[in-house]
A and B are shown apart, each in its own frame.
Chain A
Amino acid sequence: MEDGEIEEGMITADEFPTSEVTTETIPQPREPAKSPLELLRESKTSVEEIVAKMLSIKKEGNNKSEIRELLTQMFLNFVNLRQANRAILTEEDKVKAETERAKAPVDFTTLQLHNLMYEKSHYVKAIKACRDFKSKYPDIELVPEEDFFRDAPEAIKDKLVSSDSSHVLMPKRLNFELLQRKELCKHRVRLEQQKKSLLETIAERKKFLSSLPLHLKALKKASLPVQNQLGIQHTKTLKQHNLAELLPPPLYVIYSQLLAQKEAFEECIDLEIVGSLKDAQAYVRQQTKKDSGMSNNTESSRLEDDGPDDDDDGQRRRKRPKKLTTKGSDKAGLYQAHPLKIFLHIYDDENPDTKSLKLVILKFEYLLKLNVVCVGAEGSQDGPEKNIFCNLFPDDAGLEPPHQSTKLILGDGQAFDENRTSRPYKWVQHLAGIDILPEVSPILLGQETHNIDSAKSDVVVSDLSLYRQQHRVQRILQRIRSRKKAHLALAEQLDLLMKHELPDVKCEDAPWALHKVLCTLDSWLHIQASASMSSSLTLNSMEQVPEPMEIDVDGRSISGKEDLEGIREDGELPSLVTAAASVTSSNHTPLKVSNVARSRQLALMTKNLDSPISKGKSPSFKKYEDDLDLVLDDDSEVDEPAGTTEAHVEALYPEKTDNSWVDYGTREFALVFSRKTDGGKLCKLEATVQISMEYPLRPPFFSLSLHASSASGNENGTNESDHYNELRAMEAEVNLHMLKIVPSDQENYLLSHQIRCLAMLFDYYVDDPSPDSKRGTATTVVDVGLCKPVDGKLLVRSFRGRDHRKMISWKDRGCASGYPC
């Protein structure tokens, strides 16, 4: 603005002279002291006046002289004018220069101002930039003040006075921070370098390692012959361990625990995992896939699934009849087994140096769907009766699936497939570490308190410590071993018996071992194991009903008939068959009674099952039932009407506790001893021997019946009741009392003992001690002070008690009938 003013001033100054040029010329010469402007104005006015005069003169034209004068004056004025003009111009120059001089400082100042302004805006910008500064790691706070004061190096800190403003402090802190960060950066670089070098070494070593297996393989191959030579199956065990890792958990427990037992106690067992590695791997993979898939879904779908699950059950139930009839393909699915199986070879442990005596091979397999472990004897394809693993422990026939869940899967009433040789015994589940809740609350079973406790502990079994504590492996191995040995011994004895030879008893202490058997073993027949059939009946399909019934009943009576006829040349009717039809109907032979009872049971069982198939399809069974009614009618001389008895029986039957497992796999044999007495009578002792699977723990059970006939061939009134008490006493002796005398190491030969004992008892029974018989026991009696003779001779007693039972005096090693005790 000052500029503008200056400019204006300058312009006016410029204009001014031009106007002055015209005006100044005159006054200036006149009055030089005066300001040129005034001079100019005076000169101008004077010029105008002269001109005016001249004009007037000219008009008048008269005074030409005067014009001359006026002209001079005029010129004079002009000079003045010029002078004034010149003065103005110089003046103007002077002013101009002056202005010029004044303008320079102004310009300088302006420039300075601009510079400052620029500088200021720059600072403002910088401040703003600083203010807006964002750290790369906004979450890392500045080092706190106290840390700074503590840790910062003196170089940064020393100039600091405590009273310094926070602003001063801040940069210092920042500096410190910067310092620290820089150091860290350096550290990082160093570490990177280290890492790089390490990676390099690792890569190098890896390379070495990857090349190593090749070498090792070569070594291993080379070592194989040596291993074989030395009997160290290192490679094999390694392979087995690899397989073991793929085993399903229950089988794994079996494997690991058996192995541990083997290694810890040098059990004579061998373990082997058999199966395709690939299949197992595939299965594991599939399983994990399924698991991961499941775990995603389960949470969401669990709640919804509850409803449909019930539906499923219903469907299954609906499907079941179909299953019964077709036994089709989906069953195979149910019984699908894990690809890996465990083979367990059990050796005899009594002579450990020779490993040759192989007792039995067990095959463990795991059924995936049913979640049970099954076991079977490898290599034996015999019927269920030959299966030595059933009832290894009480109530374990292996027909009933051990878990409730399995039962649900299989459906109600549906037993485990009986045709399978490998069965889900409970003990296998125990061996596999699967613990089962008992089906019925242990309190209901009326156990004593400490048992309840143990049952409780069963429930909470979770880890293997209890498993080991219970010595399950040891116990089961021991049981299998003793079972197998017992059955080997039993088979040996049965073979002998089949040849109608009395098996020898290698025992010095038992009286029957010393007794010279006088009677002969006439026959030893295997009867169809009816008890096991009956149990299978309840469990299996109904179509089988008629056949076993016929075999059972007819087969027995026929066999009895045949063998009796074989012995009685005169072809007299065997009493066994006639007994039922004979005069007084009420005297059944025990065989008959048991038959009736058994068939009654069967009838009731079938009734309970209430299967439409059985009602429709078993005419022969029906027929038998009619027969049975006949038998009952015979009985109904009894005042009580037969109908009510039946009703009672039916009402009673369901109440019975199910003990059918005891009979499972039980074999029945018919044994006949015969002896001719001195009086020419032929006595026959018939025994039905039930040999349980649990032999010898559950000793064979003998049911006896006796038939006597005179040589002449007349039926000598062989009424059952004649010998009833005697026979029962003999039964009690054979089935119960003598067992206590058999030494425990002879346990496996219990059957021989029992049969020998029976033979001895029979001999004693037939040895009629009555005075007219020559044999008698008089010789053994003399040495004992007996009752005072009543009629002049020694009283020989051979019977005693209200039941008129034969007295048998047991001594240390011998025994005799009569009273020489």
Chain B
Amino acid sequence: MYGDATNWNEEDYREAILKEREIQTRTVFRTAWAPSAKIPNPDAFVVASSDGTLAFHSMNSLVSQSASFGYSKDLNVMAAEPERVVRAHEGPAYDVKFYGDDEDALLLSCGDDGRVRGWKWKELVESEVSLQENHVKPLLELTNPQHKGPWGALSPMPEINAISLDHQSGSVFTAAGDSCAYCWDVESGQIKMTFKGHSDYLHTVVSRSSASQILTGSEDGTARIWDCKTGKCIKVIGSQDKKSPHRISCMALDGSESWLVCGQGKNLALWNLPASECVSTISIPAHVQDVMFDEKQILTVGAEPLLRRFDLNGALLSQIHCAPCSVFSISLHPAGVVAVGGYGGLVDVISQFGSHLCTFRSSSL
């Protein structure tokens, strides 16, 4: 605390006020469930937020902490202390994914500083340093290339907005701010392939390993399908003319990797990839910001505090109110539990039955 007239510390108080505001303006860009081969129930998950930190939360402690807190639309949500915090990036951390399913899984994150960093999940969880600003040295560090201009001037470091993993070929695909997608080799840390063609920066990348393809979505309003082997663009989805103002903000493939859903503006477009045609378009009142397949259903969130569930025909199955007013991330645990994260640093964990397991504000750092 900062005391009162007896021992006043104005600087501390000022900082406390700003800190409070900072926490409220933080955005959770991605949540990811940790792979747990043994335990089928969802437990640990990682939260990547706009202050560049990765925070690990455990469902067990969250649920016990939140016993007295219910779900509410109020802004009074529990501030949860994470189990571990890692400062992963300068600037926001945009995406976090697990590479591998077993105990040796790697945790990969990317961020505004144009880097991908990877840690051994097990080491990170068991590391001694807790809660403090944790500079665990990453096992893997990939840095986005900067372009050389005339006279060797370097372009600003483009951010990496999304990563996608292909475990079979040991590749990491990144969607970078320089309108290119890159394919990295996990072992060597070298760029294997560069996918050039978009005219504006990339929002999302999805790997379709069964066909050795990747799909990217860009600010320029198009999605492209690339062949990983040649690095050539196979197909451009969406019009490339400048009149369509809306970016492709998110994409998702279903389990069979034959259905693709693209979020563009306030619409979701469902593509059948083998047939290469748009099957249906779903209109949503708000901008779509993340989308995901759950078996034969589509989960989507946007700039509104709702989690919507559609079937493949575009019929609205349910919508669940969730805590963040603008939701940036859905992540689905195999058990059916969904974690959504968004503006305000809020994370809402919703069970397969639509009830709120816990809602919290990650109070990291």
What is the interface of chain A, defined by CB distance below 8 A to chain B? Answer: 392-396, 426-427, 430-431, 435, 445, 447, 451, 454, 458, 461, 470, 472, 475-476, 479, 583-584, 586-587, 593, 597, 600-601, 635, 637-640, 645, 647-649, 651-653, 655-656, 697-699, 701, 719-722, 724-725, 728, 731-732, 735-736, 739, 770-772, 784-788, 790-791, 795, 797, 799-804, 819, 821
Nearest B residue to A471, CB-CB: B8
Residues in B with CB closer than 8 Å to A637 are: 319
Report whether A587 and B6 are in contact in the complex, using a CB–CB cutoff of 8 Å.
no
Report whether B285 and A584 are in contact in the complex, using a CB–CB cutoff of 8 Å.
yes
Q: List 5 A-B contacts (CB under 8 A).
A: A639-B318, A787-B147, A788-B147, A802-B95, A803-B27
How long is the Cα–Cα vector from A189 to B74 in the complex, in angstroms? 97
- Stretch among B38-46, B165-173, B206-214, B321-329 lining the A interface: B321-329
Report whether B8 and A724 are in contact in the complex, using a CB–CB cutoff of 8 Å.
no
B255 interface residue (CB < 8 Å to A): no
B253 interface residue (CB < 8 Å to A): no
Residues in A with CB closer than 8 Å to B150 are: 785
Query: Which of B8, B303, B305 is the one whose CB lies under 8 Å from A725?
Result: B303
Report whether A785 and B154 are in contact in the complex, using a CB–CB cutoff of 8 Å.
yes
Query: Which of B17, B72, B249, B354 is the one whose CB lies under 8 Å from A804?
Result: B249
Among B1, B29, B153, B158, the most chain A Cβ lie within 10 Å of the Cβ of B1
How long is the Cα–Cα vector from A512 to B92 in the complex, in angstroms? 25
Report whether A800 and B7 are in contact in the complex, using a CB–CB cutoff of 8 Å.
no
Report whether B287 and A722 are in contact in the complex, using a CB–CB cutoff of 8 Å.
yes
B197 interface residue (CB < 8 Å to A): yes
Nearest B residue to A597, CB-CB: B74
B334 interface residue (CB < 8 Å to A): no
B60 interface residue (CB < 8 Å to A): no
Instruction: Say how far B241's CB is from chain A's closest CB, in angstroms.
Output: 12
Q: How many A-B residue pairs have CB under 8 A?
A: 207
B196 interface residue (CB < 8 Å to A): yes
What is the interface of chain B, defined by CB distance below 8 A to chain A? Answer: 1-8, 10, 13-14, 17-18, 21-22, 25, 27, 29, 50, 68-76, 92, 94-95, 112, 147-151, 153-156, 158-159, 161-162, 177-179, 196-201, 203, 219, 242, 245, 247, 249, 266, 285-287, 289, 302-306, 318-321, 325-326, 328, 343, 354-355
Instruction: Say how far A788's CB is from chain B's closest CB, in angstroms.
Output: 5
How long is the Cα–Cα vector from A821 to B14 in the complex, in angstroms? 30
Residues in A with CB closer than 8 Å to B14 are: 697
How long is the Cα–Cα vector from A640 to B305 in the complex, in angstroms? 13
Instruction: Say how far B199's CB is from chain A's closest CB, in angstroms.
Output: 5
Residues in B with CB closer than 8 Å to A435 are: 6
Residues in B with CB closer than 8 Å to A785 are: 147-151, 153-155
How long is the Cα–Cα vector from A426 to B303 in the complex, in angstroms? 44
Residues in B with CB closer than 8 Å to A476 are: 5
- If the complex has contacts A393-B5, A728-B326, A790-B198, are A645 and B71 also in contact, measured as CB distance less than 8 A? yes
Query: Which of A583, A698, A721 is the one whose CB lies under 8 Å from B286?
Result: A721
Report whether B72 and A790 are in contact in the complex, using a CB–CB cutoff of 8 Å.
no
Nearest B residue to A470, CB-CB: B6
Report whether B149 and A697 are in contact in the complex, using a CB–CB cutoff of 8 Å.
no
How long is the Cα–Cα vector from A701 to B153 in the complex, in angstroms? 41
Ranked nearest first, the 7 interchain pairs of A and B with the lowest CB-CB distance are A785-B149, A721-B286, A648-B70, A785-B153, A721-B303, A430-B5, A732-B25
Residues in B with CB closer than 8 Å to A648 are: 70-72
Query: Which of A454, A720, A802 is the one whose CB lies under 8 Å from B203?
Result: A802
Report whether A801 and B4 are in contact in the complex, using a CB–CB cutoff of 8 Å.
no
Residues in B with CB closer than 8 Å to A731 are: 25
How long is the Cα–Cα vector from A396 to B162 in the complex, in angstroms? 47
Nearest B residue to A584, CB-CB: B285
Residues in A with CB closer than 8 Å to B305 are: 586
Residues in A with CB closer than 8 Å to B22 are: 736
Interface of B is mostly: loop
- If the complex has contacts A648-B70, A790-B199, are A394 and B2 also in contact, measured as CB distance less than 8 A? yes
- If the complex has contacts A475-B8, A795-B199, are A800 and B242 also in contact, measured as CB distance less than 8 A? no
Report whether B303 and A638 are in contact in the complex, using a CB–CB cutoff of 8 Å.
no
Among B7, B177, B354, the most chain A Cβ lie within 10 Å of the Cβ of B7
How long is the Cα–Cα vector from A803 to B302 in the complex, in angstroms? 11
- If the complex has contacts A597-B74, A785-B148, A795-B200, are A396 and B286 also in contact, measured as CB distance less than 8 A? no
Query: Which of A470, A645, A725 is the one whose CB lies under 8 Å from B72?
Result: A645
Residues in B with CB closer than 8 Å to A426 are: 4-5
Instruction: Say how far B343's CB is from chain A's closest CB, in angstroms.
Output: 6
Report whether A728 and B179 are in contact in the complex, using a CB–CB cutoff of 8 Å.
no
Report whether B286 and A719 are in contact in the complex, using a CB–CB cutoff of 8 Å.
yes
- If the complex has contacts A451-B1, A790-B197, are A639 and B73 also in contact, measured as CB distance less than 8 A? no
Residues in B with CB closer than 8 Å to A601 are: 74
14 additional contacts, CB 8 Å, given A787-B179, A804-B247? Answer: A470-B7, A475-B8, A584-B285, A586-B305, A647-B70, A652-B69, A655-B68, A655-B69, A721-B326, A724-B326, A725-B326, A784-B156, A785-B150, A804-B203
Report whether A472 and B5 are in contact in the complex, using a CB–CB cutoff of 8 Å.
yes
Residues in B with CB closer than 8 Å to A804 are: 203, 219, 247, 249
Nearest B residue to A647, CB-CB: B70
Residues in A with CB closer than 8 Å to B3 are: 393, 451, 454
Report whether A800 and B5 are in contact in the complex, using a CB–CB cutoff of 8 Å.
no
Instruction: Say how far A740's CB is from chain B's closest CB, in angstroms.
Output: 8
